[in-house]
Structure 1
Amino acid sequence: MLLAIDIGNTNMEFGVFDKEKLIGSFRLGTNREITSDEVGLFTSQFFSINNIDRRQIDDIIIASVVPQVMYSINNAMKKYFYKKKPLVIGDNLFLKIKNSYDHPAEVGTDRLVAAIGAYHKYGGPLIVVDFGTATTFDAIDQEGAYLGGAIFPGVKISMEALFQKAAKLPRVELLKPENIIGKNTIKSLQAGAVYGYVGAVGNIVNEMKQELGGSATIIATGGLAKLIGSQADLFSHIDRSLTLDGLRIIYEDYKS
């Protein structure tokens, strides 16, 4: 079995694969002060609840955009998984993907891992829209090369900024209201957040499609993929486990 870990700015996602099948996953908030024992205990509890023996884990693979947590994560894996040394993207494991960015090192490993996973699963050309702390749009060509993309403030960040700057506006739960014409402040905020964000996402995707020649497979992934992606009639697939699948695919290529 393989333990794949995707560490983002907001969440850390852990997934266990039995060959190609994702048999379980869980998320922790990305706390830069987290200790190795906290990581190990949460992980051990997940394995216990799901009746998975930690001794069945053959390898561990990690993609991270938060260097501050890596010391604790690495120590936790060694301490709680029988001294296994994780494979870490960009550290002791490098990606086999053509990267057309002006400065390739600037691209987050999570974006490249998702690009590899998406191309392997769906072919190209394609656009991957990842709804995370920021919403990223990544273009991959017919041959699987990473072309570049766009970065847009995440919907939660946008809502938090509005709450902080407007004294009379409350924090609201991010839900799709029944109507776009809100009859109270909460419904109005939800309508603006969801429908406005769908419009922005649709415009960026359509402009990117034109630069790709007018046709591309569009994939939604990330924490808010289901909420935002299901409202826009432009996604070919909503794939919440795309980055974990990308890590599995990279691992399989590494072992072959």
Structure 2
Amino acid sequence: MNLVIDIGNSDVVFGLEEKGTYPFIWRIQSDVNKIAAEYEIKLRQFFLENDVRIDLVETISISSVVPDLNETVLQVCSKLFAPKPFIINGEIIAKMDFEIDNPYEIGTDLASNAYGAFTKYSQACIVVDFGTALTFTSISGKGKILGVAIAPGVKTAMKALSSNTAKLPEIPLEIPKKLIGRNTIEAMQSGIMQGYVGLVKYMIEKTEEEMNETPKIIATGGLSFIFKPLLLEVIDEIVPHLTLDGVLAIRSKVS
């Protein structure tokens, strides 16, 4: 059993992989102010509640876009598990022949998405990741990262709107029945949800024009399923754990 850890801006995701599937996916909210013991207690609870033996973990692989949490997570791993963690960093990304300008600058999650997608489909791809940020990663038919576009994520936009306006509350991220909202919640849901659908469609269309290829469009990230009904015409597949898949694929490539 392999433990894959994706340290993100919103959550630290722990995925237990076995034979190409993830029997368990656990999340702990990312908080740089938490000490390692707090993460350790929560992770122990996950293993205990799901009747999974900690000593069954054979490998640990980590991607992180929150450097301030790295040492905390490493302390947890050293306390709970025997294997030494494999950590994706700029040096490892530089070995991947992605042909990007600065392998030390690109997020390890984006690199993992790219390699995971190309490993899975062996063709040009656009990976749309619905996370804290909404990202579009373009991969050529030869497996090269052509570039990335980044916009605020849906939750990020919603929080910014509600926190900077006196009368607009935080709302559930649901698709409204009508585009024209009849109350505040419907109006915000329409503007945010439908607005992001328009953003995604436009970005995919223009990216395809620049690529001069016919890419496979892959959605991933925690909010990808929410948008599925609105994006069926442009999204080919939803792969919710693509980042974790990519982390394991990169480990396999460079090990």
TM-score by length of 2: 0.94
- 1:208 match: 207
**Shift of the alpha carbon at 1:197?**
0.6
Shift of 1:21: 2.3
- Conservation of the 8 A alpha-carbon contact between 1:131 and 1:154: yes
2:7 is equivalent to residue 7 of structure 1: yes
- Runs of at least 5 residues in structure 2 that lack an aligned partner in the other structure: none
Amino acid at match of 1:87: F
SS at 1:6 equivalent: strand
CA distance in 2, matches of 1:50, 1:62: 22
Cα deviation, residue 100, structure 1: 3.5
Q: Distance in 1 between the 2:176 and 2:84 partners?
A: 47
Q: CA deviation at 1:3?
A: 0.4
Q: Residue 93 and residue 46 in structure 1: after superposition, are their counterparts in 2 closer, same or farther (change >3 A)?
A: farther
**Cα displacement (A) at 1:123:** 2.1
TM superposition shift of 1:229: 3.6
CA displacement at 1:94 relative to structure 2? 4.8
* Aligned residue in 1 for 2:108: 109
Aligned-residue sequence identity (percent) comes to 37
For the 8 Å contact 1:123–1:142, the answer to whether it is kept is yes
Unaligned runs of 5+ in 1: none
Task: Give the SS at the match of 1:144.
Answer: coil
Report the CA distance shift for 1:60/1:8 in structure 2 as closer, same or farther (over 3 A).
same
CA change 1:254–1:102 in 2 (3 A) is: closer
Write out per-residue CA displacement over residues 183-241 of structure 1, whole angstroms, 9 at most, x where no aligned residue. Answer: 11111110111101100111001100111125110001111111124311201111111
CA contact (8 A) 1:97 1:146 kept: no
Q: Residues 91 and 34 from structure 1, CA distance in 2 versus in 1: closer, same or farther, beyond 3 angstroms?
A: farther
1:61 and 1:208 map into 2 onto residues whose CA distance is 31
Offset at residue 157 of structure 1 (A): 1.5
Q: Aligned partners of 1:137 and 1:97: how far apart in 2?
A: 19
Q: Is the 8 A contact 2:179 2:194 kept in 1?
A: yes
Q: Which runs of 4+ in 1 moved over 6 A?
A: none
- What secondary structure is seen at the aligned counterpart in 2 of 1:253? helix
Deviation for aligned residue 1:166: 2.3
User: Residue 95 of structure 2 contacts residue 254 of structure 2 at CA under 8 Å; is this kept in 1?
Assistant: no
The Cα shift of 1:80 comes to 1.0
Counterparts of 1:1-256 in structure 2, within 5 Å, are 1-82=1-82, 84-90=83-89, 93-94=92-93, 96-232=95-231, 233-255=233-255
Structure 1-normalised TM-score? 0.93
**How far did residue 92 of structure 1 move?**
8.0
Aligned length in residues: 254
Q: Deviations over 1:39-79 (max 9, x none)?
A: 22211211122222111111101000101111111011011
Cα deviation for residue 167 of structure 1 reads 1.9
Would you say the 8 A contact 1:131–1:224 is kept in 2? yes
The CA deviation at 1:85 is: 2.0
Q: What is the Cα-based RMSD across aligned positions, in Å?
A: 1.7
Counterpart code for 2:175: K
